[in-house]
Amino acid sequence: MFRTAVIGTGVVGSAIALLLQQKGYTITGVCSKTGVSAARLAKRLGCGHSEKPEELLAQAEVIFLATPDRELGDVAGNLADSGRVEEGQVFFHLSGALPADILTPLREKGAAVGSVHPLQSFASVENAITNLKGSFFAFQGDEKAAETAFQIVKDLEGKPFMMKSEDKPLYHLGACIASNYLVALFHFAVSIYRAIGMSTEQATEALMPLIKGTLANIESLGPVKSLTGPVARGDVNTLEKHLEAIANLSPDLAKLYKTLGQYTVRVALEKGSIDKINAEKLISIFREGENTSV
């Protein structure tokens, strides 16, 4: 267990600090930009807080930089310039998209640096604390920081894995599709049900068992075998009805439905539930009205 400080006490920094403390770590101090969230968290943790990140360095072996991505370069630079970084200290940021190299100024002062990205959606601190157990964490960075990162992730009951710096943008994009676009898709479905008079609450309640059933199918059967519905069946008539209905509702939403439909045809082909001729027919329906000029 490492004496740990957390700079940035938003949803991720707070959840990590609280969980590490639950696991027996000493949180030496926390810090935020305005000081308000840090003071609130420090009270909960029973530790000190500061508005000056460099004041947290003296006590800590490990320092998490849990600020927004756009702040990481400046925070790292200011910490390095403070003259308080000690050789052997380990600094981690939590960004999925940025490389560990954003912390180079700290490495130049003798610290080891890395990025430890929890592959989880932190919508609130309490939800994050519940969801984090069993989550994967991508590590990328210095060899000297890897052992510490893997130990911390295991202590959090997470699953550490190595990530290459050059793969981080695509790795993060995959995470955004799986989480953020799932939320957007759900919102899309709810908006359709709202158009037929259901409230958001009613639509959410009605669609939730369907979503949960689908997720359970994906977990046990994989994404390809989990595909059901008109595209998987090559059911042209049904899809034509869908397209007529959604075109009447909103041309923009019709465009989105068609784009998703085209990707779904790929999945159905991979499943083998439609052949190439069916696939071409479906693709042509989904492309109808598209501006094909280049």
How far apart are alpha carbons 93 and 71 in whole angstroms?
11
User: In whole angstroms, how close is the CB of 219 to ligand NAP at the nearest point?
Assistant: 21
Nearer to ligand NAP, 123 or 215 (CB): 123
Q: Interface with ligand NAP includes 271 (CB under 6 A)? A: no
How far apart are alpha carbons 90 and 107 in whole angstroms?
9
CA angle 73, 78, 81 (to 5 degrees): 125
Return the DSSP state at 102.
Answer: G
Pair type for strands 159-162 and 136-141: parallel
Q: Interface with ligand NAP includes 84 (CB under 6 A)? A: no
Selected from 4, 5, 18, 32, the binder of ligand NAP by CB under 6 A is 32
Selected from 71, 77, 249, 281, the binder of ligand NAP by CB under 6 A is 71
Whether the Cβ atoms of residue 149 and residue 160 lie closer than 8 Å to each other: yes
Q: Interface with ligand NAP includes 62 (CB under 6 A)? A: no
Binding mask 110-149 for ligand NAP (x = CB under 6 A): -------xx--xx---------------------------
Q: How far is CA 261 from CA 163, 204, 234, 252, 275, in A?
A: 32, 22, 11, 14, 16
Stretch that binds ligand NAP, among 2-10, 105-113, 146-154, 257-265 (CB under 6 A): 2-10
Question: How many whole angstroms from its chain centre is CA 60?
Answer: 27
- Other C-beta atoms closer than 10 Å to the C-beta of 212 total 10
Q: Interface with ligand NAP includes 50 (CB under 6 A)? A: no
Stretch that binds ligand NAP, among 25-33, 141-149, 217-225, 270-278 (CB under 6 A): 25-33
User: In whole angstroms, how close is the CB of 120 to ligand NAP at the nearest point?
Assistant: 6
How many of the chain's residues bind ligand NAP (CB under 6 A)? 28
Selected from 18, 20, 25, 37, the binder of ligand NAP by CB under 6 A is 37
Q: Distance between the two ends of the chain, CA-based, in angstroms?
A: 59
Stretch that binds ligand NAP, among 11-19, 148-156, 207-215, 218-226 (CB under 6 A): 11-19
Nearer to ligand NAP, 113 or 203 (CB): 113
Task: Give the closest residue to 282 by CA, choosing from 233, 225, 224, 227.
Answer: 233
Give the pair of three-digit tokens for residue 123: 């919508």
How far apart are alpha carbons 76 and 104 in whole angstroms?
8
User: In whole angstroms, how close is the CB of 22 to ligand NAP at the nearest point?
Assistant: 18
How far apart are alpha carbons 263 and 287 in whole angstroms?
12
Q: Interface with ligand NAP includes 5 (CB under 6 A)? A: no
Task: Give the closest residue to 155 by CA, choosing from 30, 13, 16, 60.
Answer: 16
- Residues at the interface with ligand NAP (CB under 6 A): 7-13, 31-34, 36-37, 53, 66-69, 71, 75, 93-96, 117-118, 121-122
